[in-house]
Amino acid sequence: MTTEAPSEFNNLETLSTADLLAGMNQLDHTVPQTVARALPQIERLVEAAVARLGAGGRLFYIGAGTSGRLGVVDASECPPTFGVPAEMVVGIMAGGDGAIRVAVEGAEDDAEQAWRDLQTHNIGAGDVLVGIAASGRTPYVIGGLNAARAAGLATGCVVCNAGSAVAAAAEFPVEVVTGPEFITGSTRLKAGSAQKMVLNMLTTATFIRLGYVRGNKMVDMKLSNIKLVERGERMLMDELGIDEAEAAQLLQQYGSVRAALVARL
């Protein structure tokens, strides 16, 4: 497994802060190119997600450690960004929600638990399950994908090693082979960055395809704070050629950028 291969750097404790940062940055530059090589795989996963979510399905992530936390983060950002229901994209951690903050040792080794966790959400054949595992060998993820695929779900994964058991369990695998880490085996670094990029692509492209973006604007975003209200006002000003006062009045009247645009265009 290349994610476990020895770092290209050594004697890290002897390096200056400047050299440590330069070394990490040097390796980080390789991540976008690695993700680019996986674009055809990402495209297939997006198309599967568009088909299932467009028909009323949901997207679920499962993972452990950094991988699981990245799934939870991506899922939690979809409702405020795209205005979708919270249950439309769900991130599930091995060890439960408490493991988001404090590691639950051994939770990732239970190959049966992921499917039990998913069943609490009434998961079904119309849904999509994406397993996230840098190593590609996490039993929690493999077991969940195998059970989901047998139940008729669309299954994908994001892994950072080639030819892994997780990829073999998924119908739409995404393999982003990031190579050795700055600290040997610390996949919260390059592998984590690559996984975050892929998840961003997956949900962003999916919800654009499903109509949750107009032009290049998040017209369905939830107006949950001052910053987002002001962003909504700017969107209306740009789209309708109106001043700030009128934009504020429209936003207050209709409650969303999309509703205001539909009313005025």
Q: In this structure, are residues 220 and 212 in contact, taking their beta carbons and an 8 Å threshold?
A: yes
Among residues 13, 43, 47, 77, the one annotated as catalytic is: 77
Distances (CA, A) of 16 to 19, 180, 185, 202: 5, 21, 21, 38
The two tokens of residue 161 are: 């090693």
Active site annotation includes 77? yes
DSSP code at position 100:
G
The C-alpha atoms of residue 207 and residue 77 are separated, in whole angstroms, by 12
Handedness of CA 82, 86, 91, 95 (dihedral sign): positive
Q: In this structure, are residues 114 and 140 in contact, taking their beta carbons and an 8 Å threshold?
A: yes
Among residues 8, 13, 87, 108, the one annotated as catalytic is: 108
Q: What is the DSSP string of 235-252?
A: HHHHHH---HHHHHHHHH
The two tokens of residue 43 are: 């495209």
Active site annotation includes 233? no
The C-alpha atoms of residue 189 and residue 110 are separated, in whole angstroms, by 25
Q: What angle do CA 66, 18, 8 make, to 5 degrees?
A: 60
The C-alpha atoms of residue 50 and residue 239 are separated, in whole angstroms, by 27
Q: Catalytic positions, please?
A: 77, 108
